[in-house]
Amino acid sequence: MQTIRGFRDILPEHISLWQKVEKEAKDLFEAFGFKEIRIPIIEKTHLFARSIGEVTDIVEKEMYTFADRKGDKLTLRPEATASIVRSYIQHKMYAADPVRKFFMIGPMFRRERPQKGRYRQFYQIDAEVFGIESAYIDSQMIFLLNELFKRLGLTGLSAHINSLGCPDCRPDFQKALLDFLESKKDRLCENCLRRMDKNPLRIIDCKATDCQEALQDAPATLDYLCNECEDHFATVKTTLEHQGVDFIVDKSLVRGLDYYTRTAWEIQTTALGAQSAVAGGGRYDGLVKELGGPQTPGIGFAIGFDRLVEVMEQIDKTPQIPGLDLFIVSLGDAAMEKGYHWSCELNQAGIRTEIDFRAKSMKALMKRANKFNAQYVLIAGENELTQNAIILRNMNTKEQVLLAVETLVPELIKILKK
Ligand code: HAM
């Protein structure tokens, strides 16, 4: 039996980096006022089609969609934003306080062609903010991402930012884009031609080389911004500059999802070949209303957790196996029984203790203690029990002390908790 293509196990020897990232992210989110939210893995297909956009790669080609027994069309979530917006509306969160900040960490599903940094089940660390129109929240989201990456020791990342405008300035841009596309029609792929009427903005992120070449001088949203969007973007940029956050204004960044308005960004790396985006996000001021809620601005980002860990693994190549505080070498039935109770009590007290129940030789057990990188080894055989002198050996200094059975556990806790 094997995992399905694009799906994978994350094995214990790789998990320490995942846990480190999760801890740093949670600490930061907490400090910035985000609350954790947990959302279902499956939603009605309609939710994703409506929010991400019918004419996008995700919705057209990549979703795991199936009919349940009653024939309802359901989809494994390809991202978290749509669900969090749905939840915000469903629970009328806007009524008590429209300003809400959420984060979630969990798996997403997209049926893309698997390659390094690209999986069919992948994990995202997602953050969303509702109810704030000010450009300061845009800068703060990028600042937060930057701070997280800094804390994780990542270098060589670059923040690409752009503004995609709003419903006021979009039509002028779309017209210019359509005129431009019309002039390049003979060089565009089938898919792009099909999208011309339905969703021309998506043509800009077509990956086909010919299309990319043809689109080099395509009009950019940035050149068509209305005054409000321009001021908004200017505040985002100056605020980031004042905070010392490096960024590149990237006119060609359009993101792959339809809900974005105004600021959009990606954090890119050169470490993972073609899969350059470690995180992406942006503002979506129309989405809450589009999905049936009151007009409420929104903004958020998602970090590609798998990609982030892969970049970190390139920096720190040594797999980290946490060592053991104590290994109990129990020889003989009586010592095994005692050892069993000691190990449970020590585990209860938070001391990382292992014992091998398989009645092995002293030599084999010492070998195992070394394999686990145990700081201390407790040696209990028949002799030690009759003499009431259990040996505790410090594996670093090789010093040994003798402990009495009656007070063994509290003594060990005292020594090992130092
Ligand atoms: P996205 O750009 O589609 O945005 O995905 C965010 C990140 O998820 C990407 O930058 C990438 O690191 C990671 N990612 C995407 N697809 C894969 C894959 N197949 N394998 C591995 N990693 C992947 C969103 O999902 C938006 N919901 C972000 C957002 C939140 N915008 C506003 N709020």
Contact between 82 and 47 under an 8 Å Cβ cutoff? The reply is yes
Residues 292 and 383 in one domain: no
Q: What CATH code is carried by the domain that includes residue 397?
A: 3.40.50.800
- Find out whether the beta carbon of 304 lies less than 6 Å from any atom of ligand 1: yes
Residues 133 and 274 in one domain: yes
- Please give the pLDDT value at position 320: 62
DSSP-derived secondary structure letter, 112 = P
Q: Kindly state the average pLDDT of the residues 258-270.
A: 95
In a domain, residue 60? The reply is yes
Residues 370 and 283 in one domain: no
Contact between 263 and 138 under an 8 Å Cβ cutoff? The reply is yes
- Please give the pLDDT value at position 321: 64
Binding residues for L-histidine: 79-81, 110, 124, 128, 255, 259-260
340: confidence class by pLDDT, cuts 50, 70, 90? very high
Q: Kindly state the average pLDDT of the residues 122-140.
A: 98
Q: Which two tokens stand for residue 85?
A: 């917006």
Q: Kindly state the average pLDDT of the residues 10-31.
A: 94
Backbone conformation region of residue 359, classed left if phi is above 0, alpha if psi is from -120 to 50, else beta: left
- Contacting residues for 40 by C-beta, under 8 A, at least 6 apart: 77, 83
- Please give the pLDDT value at position 319: 58
Query: For residue 106, how far is its CA from the centre of ligand 1 (angstroms)?
Result: 12
Q: What CATH code is carried by the domain that includes residue 26?
A: 3.30.930.10
What span, in angstroms and rounded, lies between the C-alpha atoms of 206 and 211?
A: 7
Q: Give the pLDDT confidence of 385-405 residue by residue, as tens digits.
A: 999 999 999 999 999 999 999
Residues 238 and 304 in one domain: yes
- Find out whether the beta carbon of 384 lies less than 6 Å from any atom of ligand 1: no
In a domain, residue 6? The reply is no
Q: Give the pLDDT confidence of 114-129 residue by residue, as tens digits.
A: 999 999 999 999 999 9
User: Looking at the predicted structure, is the pLDDT value of residue 3 above 90?
Assistant: yes
Edge-to-edge strand list for the sheet holding 42-44: 42-44, 73-76, 65-67
Q: Where is the domain boundary, 315, 345, 368?
A: 315
In a domain, residue 1? The reply is no
- Find out whether the beta carbon of 110 lies less than 6 Å from any atom of ligand 1: yes
What share of the chain has pLDDT > 90, as a percent?
Answer: 91
What span, in angstroms and rounded, lies between the C-alpha atoms of 128 and 179?
A: 35
Residues 403 and 339 in one domain: yes
- Please give the pLDDT value at position 318: 65
Residues 342 and 293 in one domain: no
Entry field: residues in the chain: 418
Domain that holds residue 344: 326-416
Biggest CA–CA distance in the chain, Å, is 95
- Please give the pLDDT value at position 314: 87
Query: For residue 119, how far is its CA from the centre of ligand 1 (angstroms)?
Result: 11
In a domain, residue 220? The reply is no
For residue 300, give the ligand 1 atom closest to its CA.
33
In a domain, residue 207? The reply is no
Residues 69 and 135 in one domain: yes
What span, in angstroms and rounded, lies between the C-alpha atoms of 349 and 335?
A: 21
Query: For residue 302, how far is its CA from the centre of ligand 1 (angstroms)?
Result: 6
Query: For residue 303, how far is its CA from the centre of ligand 1 (angstroms)?
Result: 6
When divided into structural domains, the chain yields a total of 2
Residues 159 and 301 in one domain: yes
- Find out whether the beta carbon of 173 lies less than 6 Å from any atom of ligand 1: no
User: Looking at the predicted structure, is the pLDDT value of residue 337 above 80?
Assistant: yes
291: confidence class by pLDDT, cuts 50, 70, 90? very high
In a domain, residue 92? The reply is yes
In this structure, the residue with its CA closest to atom 3 of ligand 1 is: 256
DSSP-derived secondary structure letter, 380 = E
Q: Give the pLDDT confidence of 65-112 residue by residue, as tens digits.
A: 999 999 999 999 999 999 999 999 999 999 999 999 999 999 999 999
User: Looking at the predicted structure, is the pLDDT value of residue 144 above 90?
Assistant: yes
Query: For residue 210, how far is its CA from the centre of ligand 1 (angstroms)?
Result: 25
Residues 266 and 369 in one domain: no
In a domain, residue 20? The reply is yes
173: confidence class by pLDDT, cuts 50, 70, 90? very high
- Of the candidates 34, 221, 201, 59, the one whose C-alpha atom is nearest the C-alpha of residue 130 is 34
Mean pLDDT score of the chain: 95
Q: How many CB atoms lie within 10 A of CB 189?
A: 16
- Find out whether the beta carbon of 278 lies less than 6 Å from any atom of ligand 1: yes
- Find out whether the beta carbon of 118 lies less than 6 Å from any atom of ligand 1: yes
What are the residues facing 107 on neighbouring strands?
Answer: 123
Query: For residue 198, how far is its CA from the centre of ligand 1 (angstroms)?
Result: 23
Q: Which two tokens stand for residue 307?
A: 């990609």
- Find out whether the beta carbon of 126 lies less than 6 Å from any atom of ligand 1: yes
Backbone conformation region of residue 175, classed left if phi is above 0, alpha if psi is from -120 to 50, else beta: alpha
- Find out whether the beta carbon of 240 lies less than 6 Å from any atom of ligand 1: no
Q: Which two tokens stand for residue 287?
A: 């989405």
- Find out whether the beta carbon of 258 lies less than 6 Å from any atom of ligand 1: no
- Of the candidates 248, 270, 262, 27, the one whose C-alpha atom is nearest the C-alpha of residue 125 is 27
- Please give the pLDDT value at position 286: 98
| H or E stretch at 346 | helix 333-348
Q: Give the pLDDT confidence of 21-48 residue by residue, as tens digits.
A: 999 999 999 999 999 999 999 999 999 9
In this structure, the residue with its CA closest to atom 14 of ligand 1 is: 304
Q: Where is the domain boundary, 315, 341, 376?
A: 315
Pocket test for ligand 1, best of 254, 257, 303, 308 (most atoms within 8 A of CB): 257
- Find out whether the beta carbon of 281 lies less than 6 Å from any atom of ligand 1: yes
- Find out whether the beta carbon of 306 lies less than 6 Å from any atom of ligand 1: yes
Residues 291 and 330 in one domain: no
Which residue bears the tokens 């990342």?
Answer: 157
Residues 20 and 126 in one domain: yes
Q: Kindly state the average pLDDT of the residues 331-359.
A: 97
Query: For residue 123, how far is its CA from the centre of ligand 1 (angstroms)?
Result: 9
pTM, entire model: 0.93
Residues 126 and 37 in one domain: yes
Q: Where is the domain boundary, 281, 315, 349?
A: 315
In a domain, residue 49? The reply is yes
- Find out whether the beta carbon of 81 lies less than 6 Å from any atom of ligand 1: yes
Query: For residue 318, how far is its CA from the centre of ligand 1 (angstroms)?
Result: 27
Q: Give the pLDDT confidence of 188-202 residue by residue, as tens digits.
A: 999 999 999 889 999
